[in-house]
Structure 1
Amino acid sequence: MKKIIGVFIVLLMSFNGISAQEECDTPIAVLMAERIDGMNEVQQEYLRSKMEQLIVSQGISSDFFYTQFFLTADVVGMQNEAVPTIPASATCQCDIILKLVDRAGMKTMATQVVNVRGAGATEEKAIRNAIRLINPQNKKLLDFIKGAKGKVLAYYNQHTVQIVSQAHRLGGLEKYEEAFNLLASVPECCNRYDEVTREIIAIYPKARDKIGENYLKKARRIWTANQTGAAAGEACYWLSLIDPKSSAYSKAESLYAEIKGRVQVEVQHEMKVYDDNVDLVKEQINAAKEIGMAYGKGQQTEINVIK
């Protein structure tokens, strides 16, 4: 009986470990080359959106931007054919090659080739219907994404210490946003994630004022250049990231009030408000992740096709 209970506990622990890994958000972005042979911009954007649906179905956030690992696609052997029917129709056939790429050295870590076929009233519709086969119902693709996620998690389990060390160095150089971007990329289910949180807590109080001043300057520059609804939204986005304890907060509040008073549209982003009831450590970790993600949005994301 004891042996059975022991086996049950081991199985339960294993199941919980697998569940935690499956639910763990993994930093894999979807990036496309500037140009894919045989596809126009609309078709490329549709392929990108289908790839995002695929990774989101496996618990991977599509919010990551500048990450070390990304999923991209190449298209080869595009064959379009007009079918002489009444009414006229068209067919499309090609291989879509999905690739998991490590940005460090631009190394391809895994590939999956999918032969897709589509038909439609026009060539445009035929290509779209072919791309539609890149979806979460495709078991081969799901297995590929699960494998890619496993490779990325294995990498972070192995390299968390080096990542924390690099972030510590960046923090010492006052490159706080870059440090937070690096730390935000580490999945919470990694074996040594507690070292990530300790580093964030160590850096954050030093970074708060400088980052707040930088974001205030960005917001002012955006708002001064163009006082439109779009500019208001962008400026308020940067203001919303400023910590209530930052030395820039009071000036940010004044600018925020000015913007809201000038524009006739609803401003999506609200200023942070300090709350004594919120766990300070958790608040700092979440704020650092937001800063890291914001930094990532501003980085170069265009790529060439990775062979």
Structure 2
Amino acid sequence: MKLRQILLGAAIAAMPVAAAAADCEIGMGIAPIMEGDQVPAAVARQLEAKLKTVLTHVGVAAGDYDCQFFLTGRFDEAFSQEAGGVGGRVLVKTNLQLAICDGENRKVFATATFPLKGVGASDQQALTRALGSLNARNPEFINFVENGKAKIVDYFDKNYPTYMAKAQKALKARDYDEALYWSTSIPECCAGYAQAAELASSIYQDKIDYDGAMLLAQAEGEWASDPSAEGGRAAYGYLSRIDPSAACYAKAKALGKKISASVREDYDFETKEKYRNAVELEKQRIDAARQVAVAWAQNQPKTVVKNNWIAW
């Protein structure tokens, strides 16, 4: 039996946390595995799932959405033979080659080869069992990932100004979600993180202010066109979505009180006021900004990463 290429082509963005290359959480992508000519689909799916699990255990945020850094791999040609014993069991041996890559710059950051051997009632079962040795306790796998992570940290240390410039460009176009994507991409353990976090917080506030102003204008329009209980409820539907830290929040609250006085219905701003205390915490603001960035990246059109530039 021959196993031809399995490319796990694809990508992800880095969504950071921690504080030294070994402790810093780096994002890395794994896309659905492309099946080789004789590679069972179930084995390809299991390998993808296993890689996500072991990457998480060694401090990598493994995801699916399209971006720059990714893990890719392939099986060498393999052979199978009867293992002997009862039930006609099969022995399969192969090598799994893995690479951590920068798809944007077409660079390979780290490579490793893992000899695999498994026994099962069929080639597929034997291959599935062969993947068992690929786990977070495997020293070679840990070294492989840590080496790749260190190269990614070095990349951000040298290139973070480019990310800042892209964030500023998107901000000028009022594309707040993209701006947050670029400004939150720099891991916490990298040079430039403090500047990027400050920029992300500023962008997030601009987004809140802009969205709030749009919602207030819609609320005012609803109330002006229909100053009744029904119009008040429609207006408050917009007011209730305005973040308490938005620049227009005082005006939104005043309009809410005006509507309440006219239609004799009490709208709850107290809960929103309590929420204000939470969102002012800088860490929560950065976390919220990252969530916006992740959502933006996940909604981008997927691209197929061609890995023929990777030398095995």
The structure that has the greater radius of gyration is 2
| Structure 2 residue ranges without an equivalent (≥5) | 1-17, 215-240, 253-271
CA distance in 1, matches of 2:120, 2:133: 14
> 1:29 maps to which residue?
29
- Cα deviation for residue 243 of structure 1 reads 6.9
Residues 213, 29 of structure 1: CA spacing in aligned structure 2 closer, same or farther, 3 A cutoff? farther
- Cα deviation for residue 34 of structure 1 reads 2.8
CA distance in 1, matches of 2:293, 2:102: 19
Q: Which has the higher helix share?
A: 1
CA distance in 2, matches of 1:36, 1:305: 14
- Cα deviation for residue 164 of structure 1 reads 0.8
> 2:305 maps to which residue?
303
Show CA shifts across 1:273-298 (max 9, x none): 83314434333211110011112223
For the pair 1:290 / 2:286, whether they are aligned, the reply is no
- Cα deviation for residue 212 of structure 1 reads 8.6
> 1:130 maps to which residue?
130
- Cα deviation for residue 46 of structure 1 reads 0.9
What are the residue-to-residue correspondences of 1:222-233 with 2, within 5 Å? Answer: none
- Cα deviation for residue 57 of structure 1 reads 1.9
Residues 301, 184 of structure 1: CA spacing in aligned structure 2 closer, same or farther, 3 A cutoff? farther
Show CA shifts across 1:45-95 (max 9, x none): 211122122221221222573332111111221323344542111122222
CA distance in 1, matches of 2:72, 2:212: 34
> 1:52 maps to which residue?
52
Q: TM-score, normalised by structure 1?
A: 0.68
CA distance in 2, matches of 1:194, 1:176: 19
CA distance in 1, matches of 2:289, 2:136: 32
CA distance in 1, matches of 2:213, 2:27: 28
Residues 127, 304 of structure 1: CA spacing in aligned structure 2 closer, same or farther, 3 A cutoff? farther
> 1:183 maps to which residue?
183
Residues 167, 160 of structure 1: CA spacing in aligned structure 2 closer, same or farther, 3 A cutoff? same
- Cα deviation for residue 135 of structure 1 reads 1.2
> 1:150 maps to which residue?
150
> 1:266 maps to which residue?
none
CA distance in 2, matches of 1:183, 1:141: 31
CA distance in 1, matches of 2:101, 2:213: 35
Question: 1:160·1:186 contact (CA, 8 Å) conserved in 2?
Answer: yes
Q: Secondary structure at the match of 1:87?
A: coil
What are the residue-to-residue correspondences of 1:95-244 with 2, within 5 Å? Answer: 95-208=95-208, 244=243
CA distance in 1, matches of 2:132, 2:107: 27
Residues 96, 169 of structure 1: CA spacing in aligned structure 2 closer, same or farther, 3 A cutoff? same
Question: 1:24·1:187 contact (CA, 8 Å) conserved in 2?
Answer: yes
CA distance in 2, matches of 1:243, 1:99: 46
Deviates more, 1:295-304 or 1:144-153: 295-304
Aligned length: 240
Q: Secondary structure at the match of 1:49?
A: helix
Q: Secondary structure at the match of 1:244?
A: coil
CA distance in 1, matches of 2:30, 2:92: 24
Show CA shifts across 1:22-45 (max 9, x none): 221112222344333432322112
Question: 2:212·2:243 contact (CA, 8 Å) conserved in 1?
Answer: no
> 1:274 maps to which residue?
275
Question: 2:82·2:88 contact (CA, 8 Å) conserved in 1?
Answer: yes
Q: TM-score, normalised by structure 2?
A: 0.67
For the pair 1:43 / 2:57, whether they are aligned, the reply is no
Residues 119, 66 of structure 1: CA spacing in aligned structure 2 closer, same or farther, 3 A cutoff? same
CA distance in 2, matches of 1:37, 1:212: 54
Q: Secondary structure at the match of 2:50?
A: helix
Question: 2:31·2:64 contact (CA, 8 Å) conserved in 1?
Answer: no
> 1:6 maps to which residue?
none
Q: Secondary structure at the match of 2:79?
A: strand
Q: Secondary structure at the match of 1:197?
A: helix
Residues 243, 128 of structure 1: CA spacing in aligned structure 2 closer, same or farther, 3 A cutoff? farther
Show CA shifts across 1:177-202 (max 9, x none): 22222222211111221110121122
